[in-house]
């Protein structure tokens, strides 16, 4: 066999293309199906034993909040008695008792309020998706995004990591993997802040602690509204006429994917809250361990 006639560079290129093609195919089949589930959340995330037991008004977190509410009442009574001797100004008893009564009702109904907030938020994002469906005649979802991207990239030629289409596929894949981790962080944080809802409501009893409720409300609103913002971005992506002959449409497509990965940062700038950007959090951890 004449080894001089063998094109080793082509063999290496074909091997790399086959490896990346298999990798991307595996990612498409096993990971991206989770993106819609963790991004578009609704009240169904409360339907498990965790929330039923954790927000139980007797022995759960709600019960602890009720006990702390009694502690706040005792603290107020102590301050009220001392105010007659030291001359400090405090809330009128009827004002404080009214707040205590309202907070007690809200604390024990915290799961109901969170469920309704999730329903309203899900309805808002569903409306945007339905509008997009009517405009584009497509299901506004990550699953559709992946399918259409793969159809476009594989329609003309075989996969080549060194081609422009191969670069597009690599950028989109890395961006969507980053999204998967970022939205997973958001999914967990939403559950955590729902569990903290009794204590957030409890903080309204005292003027000195009411700022905790404002932070909680602003943070959970920013986390929930993210899915409506994502729905709008997906709608815009599906209105882009992706063509192999139009470089501008391809660049716009990649830019829209990048905006998806930074959606939480934009919402955080507008409303405040916690960053779930995976790359930002990794960079923060690196800085922490230096």
Whether residue 68 is contained in a domain is answered as no
pLDDT band at residue 200 under the 50/70/90 scheme: very high
Whether pLDDT at 58 is above 80: no
pLDDT band at residue 159 under the 50/70/90 scheme: low
pLDDT band at residue 57 under the 50/70/90 scheme: low
Question: pLDDT tens across 11-36, in order?
Answer: 776 677 667 666 666 666 566 667 88
CA neighbor of 193 nearest in space, from 217, 210, 173, 171: 217
Q: What is the mean pLDDT of residues 262-289?
A: 63
Whether pLDDT at 226 is above 60: yes
Q: What are the residue ranges of helices labelled H in 4-60?
A: 8-30, 33-39, 49-54
Give CA 289 to chain center in angstroms: 26
pLDDT band at residue 120 under the 50/70/90 scheme: very high
Whether residue 73 is contained in a domain is answered as no
Whether residue 157 is contained in a domain is answered as yes
Residue identified by tokens 């609103």 is: 221
3-state secondary structure of 47: coil
Distance between CA atoms of 47 and 116, rounded to whole angstroms?
13
Question: pLDDT tens across 61-90, in order?
Answer: 888 888 899 998 888 888 888 877 776 777
pLDDT band at residue 267 under the 50/70/90 scheme: confident
Number of domains within the chain: 1
Whether pLDDT at 279 is above 60: no
Whether residue 30 is contained in a domain is answered as no
Task: List the domain range (segments joined by +) for residue 168.
Answer: 110-288
Question: pLDDT tens across 87-109, in order?
Answer: 677 778 788 888 889 988 988 88
Whether pLDDT at 123 is above 80: yes
pTM given for the model: 0.80
The pLDDT value recorded for residue 286 is 46
Average pLDDT, rounded, for the chain = 78
Whether residue 150 is contained in a domain is answered as yes
Whether residue 79 is contained in a domain is answered as no
The pLDDT value recorded for residue 157 is 57
Q: What are the residue ranges of helices labelled H in 162-277?
A: 164-195, 197-202, 210-239, 247-261, 263-271
pLDDT band at residue 3 under the 50/70/90 scheme: low
- Lowest mean per-residue pLDDT among 37-46, 199-208, 263-272: 263-272
Whether residue 257 is contained in a domain is answered as yes
Whether residue 185 is contained in a domain is answered as yes
Residue identified by tokens 């998806």 is: 260
3-state secondary structure of 98: helix
The pLDDT value recorded for residue 59 is 75
């Amino acid at each position: 066999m004449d080894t001089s006639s063998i094109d080793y560079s082509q063999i290496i290129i074909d091997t790399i293309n086959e490896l990346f093609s298999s990798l991307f195919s595996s990612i498409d089949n096993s990971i991206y199906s989770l993106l819609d589930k963790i991004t578009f959340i609704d009240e169904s995330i409360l339907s498990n034993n965790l929330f039923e037991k954790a927000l139980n008004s007797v022995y759960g977190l709600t019960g602890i909040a009720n006990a702390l509410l009694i502690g706040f009442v005792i603290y107020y009574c102590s301050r009220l008695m001392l105010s007659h001797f030291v001359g400090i100004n405090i809330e009128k008893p009827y004002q404080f008792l009214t707040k205590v009564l309202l907070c007690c009702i809200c604390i024990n109904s915290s799961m109901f309020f969170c469920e309704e907030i999730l329903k309203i938020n899900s309805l808002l994002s569903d409306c945007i998706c339905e509008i997009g469906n009517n405009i584009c005649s497509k299901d506004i979802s990550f699953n559709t995004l992946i399918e259409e991207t793969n159809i476009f990239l594989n329609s003309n030629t075989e996969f080549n990591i060194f081609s422009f289409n191969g670069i597009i596929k690599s950028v989109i894949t890395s961006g969507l993997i980053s999204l998967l981790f970022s939205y997973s962080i958001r999914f967990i944080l939403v559950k955590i802040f729902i569990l903290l809802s009794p204590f957030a409501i409890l903080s309204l009893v005292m003027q000195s602690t009411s700022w905790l409720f404002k932070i909680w409300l602003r943070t959970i609103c920013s986390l929930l509204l993210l899915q409506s913002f994502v729905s709008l971005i997906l709608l815009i992506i599906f209105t882009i006429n992706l063509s192999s002959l139009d470089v501008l449409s391809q660049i716009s497509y990649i830019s829209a994917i990048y905006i998806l990965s930074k959606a939480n940062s934009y919402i955080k700038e507008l409303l405040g809250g916690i960053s779930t950007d995976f790359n930002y959090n990794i960079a923060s951890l690196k800085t922490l361990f230096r």
